């Protein structure tokens, strides 16, 4: 019952080309010169009225989770983590009921190690804070400046903020809110989180025994696939990594991208391997999540999808105290976004960059009053398989979503279903 209440309260997740724009401006300028006056140019109103926005986003740039062994180490010094003044807001981190923040075994595991330079692994950096501030500014342009959908001052009755219970995602949520509302707030910003065992904002191998049973071994197995294993041996040799060291392409990519993003030196040999590292890391993650097997993706994203759809239905029905909310923000991870994109049928085989976002917009047709859902990824509209258009009729979207959505009760029932199962 408590899990159900937690999830219910959580409320969990075309552009004109520059060339055409320049041509249009040049034409208008010519017309102005010829006539000596200007004519206001306004776009016709959209037939769709925006009703609700949900944004599921990856945290910003961070220190690596581990350093590549046996290679020159980058210096991850503390001043790389200084928060910019414009990202400051008044906020508090609580559990889903508004009580004290739960303990975080994941964060504790990071802080058991120190990187060369003196900082902990997995920590949001100044660069990452700025990335989330800029994502907030992008959302501000769309939802405050261009459409006046949101109040320009943060209000907890209008905006819900949820994060995994890890410092980098909590700080990322804070920075996004700072950019979105330009540090203007009518009340304290509450960032809600939950204990690791019941987290639904990433595939929960610790909280779901069946998911661990189905997929846990595939992390190690993915490095032994013939093509991946051959390339891994080659890159280990090229980098001078001892054969006994445990490395994989996901680890190598993580350290490589972190260094590049912060302008820190990479082993020169990685230059010629960069594309291979990116490709093999994505192939590994696809092997781990097995998008061809519905049950695996269901266990990865099912409760999250159910919550996102629940937010839509609550808003349309107007039957709950939270139905007046206009914006739900979910601060999460690359390992959240990838299975979500796979389940939606729009994964592009590219690792989500820092601060990437999946945005779900609920619209209502102004004349027919029919509901539509529009999905975008990093600001680009997506055509979801099973949808007749980018503005997807709600019933079509619900059908596509329902293939992977799981109620909290069904999720718990499936997760505990390991008795009598043979090893995969």
Active-site residue list: 59, 334
Kindly state the DSSP code that residue 141 receives in the 8-state scheme: I
Strand partners, 58: 332
Rounded to an integer, what distance in angstroms lies between the CA atom of residue 400 and that of residue 394? 10
Q: Return d(Cα 333, Cα 57) in angstroms, integer.
A: 7
Sign of CA dihedral 282, 288, 292, 298: negative
Beta strands per DSSP E along 248-326 = none
Torsion angles phi and psi, residue 67, rounded to 5: -90, 145
Angle at 153 between CA 151 and CA 155, to 5 degrees: 85
Terminal Cα-to-Cα distance of the chain (whole angstroms): 31
What's the rounded Cα separation, in Å, for the pair 201 and 54? 14
Give the count of beta carbons closer than 10 Å to the beta carbon of residue 135. Answer: 25
CA gap 60, 124 in Å, rounded: 6
d(CA 240, CA 75): 20
Is residue 343 packed enough to be buried (19+ CB in 10 Å), middle (13-18) or exposed (0-12)? Answer: buried
Let me know the angle formed at the C-alpha of 235 by 229 and 236, rounded to the nearest 5 degrees. Answer: 85
């Amino acid at each position: 019952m408590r899990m159900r209440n937690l999830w219910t309260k959580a409320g969990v997740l075309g552009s004109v080309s520059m060339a055409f724009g320049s041509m249009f401006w040049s034409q208008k300028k010519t017309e102005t010169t010829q006539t000596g006056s200007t004519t206001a140019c306004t776009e016709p109103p959209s037939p769709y009225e925006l009703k609700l926005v949900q944004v599921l986003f990856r945290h910003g740039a961070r220190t690596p989770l581990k350093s590549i062994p046996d290679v020159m180490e980058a210096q991850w010094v503390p001043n790389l983590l200084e928060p910019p003044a414009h990202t400051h807001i008044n906020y508090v981190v609580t559990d889903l009921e508004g009580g004290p923040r739960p303990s975080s075994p994941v964060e504790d595991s990071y802080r058991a190690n120190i990187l060369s330079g003196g900082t902990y692994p997995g920590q949001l950096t100044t660069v990452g804070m700025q990335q989330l501030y800029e994502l907030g500014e992008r959302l501000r342009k769309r939802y405050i400046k261009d459409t006046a959908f949101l109040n320009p001052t943060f209000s907890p009755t209008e905006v819900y903020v949820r994060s995994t219970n890890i410092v980098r995602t909590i700080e990322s949520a804070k920075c996004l809110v700072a950019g979105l509302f330009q540090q203007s707030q009518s009340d304290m910003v509450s960032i809600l989180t939950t204990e690791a065992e019941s987290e639904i904002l990433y595939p929960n191998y610790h909280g779901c025994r069946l998911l661990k049973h189905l997929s846990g071994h595939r992390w190690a197995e993915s490095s032994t696939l013939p093509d991946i294993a051959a390339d891994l041996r080659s890159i280990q040799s090229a980098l001078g990594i001892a054969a006994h060291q445990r490395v994989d392409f996901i680890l190598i990519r993580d350290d490589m991208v972190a260094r590049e993003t912060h302008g820190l030196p990479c082993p020169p040999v990685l230059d010629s391997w960069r594309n291979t590292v990116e490709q093999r890391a994505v192939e590994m993650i696809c092997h781990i999540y097995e998008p061809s097997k519905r049950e695996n993706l269901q266990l990865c994203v099912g409760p999250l999808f159910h919550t996102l759809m629940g937010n839509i239905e609550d808003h349309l029905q107007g039957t709950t105290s939270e139905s007046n909310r206009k914006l739900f923000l979910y601060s999460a991870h690359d390992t959240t976004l990838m299975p979500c994109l796979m389940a939606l049928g729009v994964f592009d085989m590219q690792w989500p960059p820092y601060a990437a976002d999946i945005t779900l917009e609920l619209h209502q047709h102004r004349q027919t009053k029919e509901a539509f859902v529009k999905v975008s990824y990093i600001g680009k509209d997506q055509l979801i398989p099973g949808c007749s258009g980018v503005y997807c009729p709600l019933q079509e979207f619900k059908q596509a979503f329902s293939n992977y959505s799981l109620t909290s009760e069904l999720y718990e029932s499936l997760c505990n279903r390991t008795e009598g199962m043979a090893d995969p």
